Chain A
Amino acid sequence: MAALVRAVLAGVFAASAMVGCVKHEPFDYTAFKEENPRSVLVVPVMNNSPEVGADDYFLATISVPIAERGYYVFPVNLTRALLADAGLSDPGLVHEADPVKVARLFGADSILFIKINNWQSQYLVLTTQVKVGFEYLLVSGKTGRPLWESSRTLVYSPDTVATGNVIADLAVMAIQAAATKLAPNYVPLARQANWQAIAAVDTETGQDMRLQGLHPFLFGPRHPLYKTDWEAKKSEASSSSRPAPRSGRSRRGSGRGSPQVSADEN
């Protein structure tokens, strides 16, 4: 029995280790609140990693957490097509364009830039582990100033279903590991990453990850909890000596693929 308890503890510990350790540094939401955006334009994701199609996984799963957080989110596929039609088919060009001008064309209050900087697959005996490094940057559509950002690394293992029978489960896991190598589906990974960043929610456990130092979008105008998180965050922020998020950093100066933001964790 004691062994079982130990095993459970080990399991829970391992699970929490999977999402990485996070610095508990309060985030300054001053600019976010001042701007108080109603809408978010998600432009095509920049993929600086060797994983072909990683950007598509992230783009396809970003709208749900933003909308469910209470914001109007422009349809990502239409956005991408319109930008491509204007000659901005390369995400790098979009990321370097003047955000104010892009936002004005769409009538967007804010623009979200996502970059995938790292993607490492590790093929273990019974499973495949993927380590993904990415960064999110929300800028004002009016001034181009940064409103929010999040930069993280996520370690992901595909879901497994257990029957309680060790031999059967090992067989299932082995098959899954093989299947993952053949036809990986990283939609759940990208969903997890996006939900954690935007809403600080762990999609596997439903857990609120603010306790682990994640700083999500504030609740938006369409959410019943809109502005309920303003006061708490304010007092948190006031205890921080940190200035507005990367206020000095010029977006335009951050060329393609440059390691501009030191990770919040790792």
Chain B
Amino acid sequence: MSGQRCSAARVVMVVALAWLGGCAKPGLYHWGNYEDSLHKLYRNPASRASYFAELGEIIRTADEKGLRVPPGLCAEYGYLHYLNGDIDGAVVYWQREKDDWPEAVVLMDTLIANARAQEEGEADGEESADAVLWTEPEPAMSEVVQEDSFEGSGEIVEMLQENPPMELEGEPETEVLP
């Protein structure tokens, strides 16, 4: 008897929660399935193509319906173009991020400058002091393997692989905090 009542209470509680959860929150931006597709990417790095497609869809839908594209989304979409080897496409979206969000100007200028420099094969010695982090932009597939830390390609990763773990700890101290 008391067991039944307990079950009934549980069910009523669930109903109450479902009813309370009915109200949706209005938002400033159109997010689409951003969160779920990003998390899927983390779960399975091979799903980058569908993440890429989702971000493109969000931007297209927002533009068509006059909704606002969330901050950072065009920057991220540009980065995926970059990973795909499409530097012109990357610059288009990084430029758009910069135009839409003055807050992003420093980072977008750095990325655009480095991508252009890389494209021209003049990555060394051309960047401003702000570009120190990314004097050697990562090659196309580093995103895919970065979760497993040191299996990626690229100058820095190769450097890390050659060094024993102890020296690895000190790496950012000399690299990032000169």
A-side residues, CB < 8 A to B, are: 3-4, 6-8, 10-12, 14-15, 38-39, 53, 56-57, 59-61, 63-64, 67-68, 70-78, 80-82, 84-90, 93, 97-98, 101-102, 104-107, 109, 126, 159-162, 164, 166, 169-170, 187, 191, 201, 204-207, 222-223
Contacts and interface: CB of A to CB of B under 8 A. Distances in A.
16 contacts: A7-B12, A53-B43, A60-B35, A67-B70, A72-B71, A72-B104, A73-B71, A84-B146, A85-B138, A102-B176, A187-B35, A191-B35, A204-B17, A204-B21, A205-B21, A206-B21
A3 B23 contact: no
Nearest to B15: A162
Interface in B91-121: 101, 103-107, 110
B27 to A, nearest CB: 5
Contacts of B154: 85
B61 interface: no
Contacts of A102: 176
B42 A56 contact: yes
Contact of B29 (A15, A68, A85): A68
B18 A162 contact: yes
A98 B177 contact: yes
Contacts of B11: 162, 164, 166, 169
A56 B43 contact: yes
Contact of A206 (B14, B25, B103, B152): B25
Interface in B128-175: 130, 132-134, 136-138, 142-143, 146, 149, 152, 154, 156, 160, 169, 171-172, 175
B155 to A, nearest CB: 9
A153 B134 CA distance: 37
Contacts of B8: 3, 7, 166
Contact of A68 (B17, B28, B101): B28
Contacts of A80: 146
Given A85-B154, A87-B171, A107 B23 contact: no
Q: Could you tell me the dominant secondary structure of chain B's interface residues?
A: helix
Interface in B61-85: 70-73, 75-76, 79
B79 A78 contact: yes
B65 to A, nearest CB: 18
A87 B146 contact: no
Contact of B104 (A82, A84, A105, A107): A107
B110 to A, nearest CB: 8
B123 interface: no
* Size range of the chain B interface in the assembly: 35 or more
A4 to B, nearest CB: 7
B177 A97 contact: yes
Contacts of B5: 3, 7
Nearest to B4: A166
Please provide the 4 A-B residue pairs with the shortest distance between their CB atoms, ordered closest to farther: A107-B106, A11-B13, A75-B72, A72-B103
Contacts of B101: 72
A101 B176 contact: yes
B137 A15 contact: no
Given A7-B13, A64-B34, A74-B107, 15 more contacts: A11-B16, A15-B20, A72-B101, A73-B71, A74-B72, A77-B79, A78-B72, A82-B133, A86-B176, A98-B177, A161-B14, A205-B21, A206-B23, A222-B28, A222-B71
Given A107-B105, A187-B39, A85 B142 contact: yes
A3 B2 CA distance: 12
Contacts of B46: none
A36 to B, nearest CB: 13
Given A60-B35, A74-B107, A160 B14 contact: yes
Identify which of B10, B15, B36, B169 gathers the most chain A CB atoms within 10 Å of its CB. Answer: B10
B72 to A, nearest CB: 4
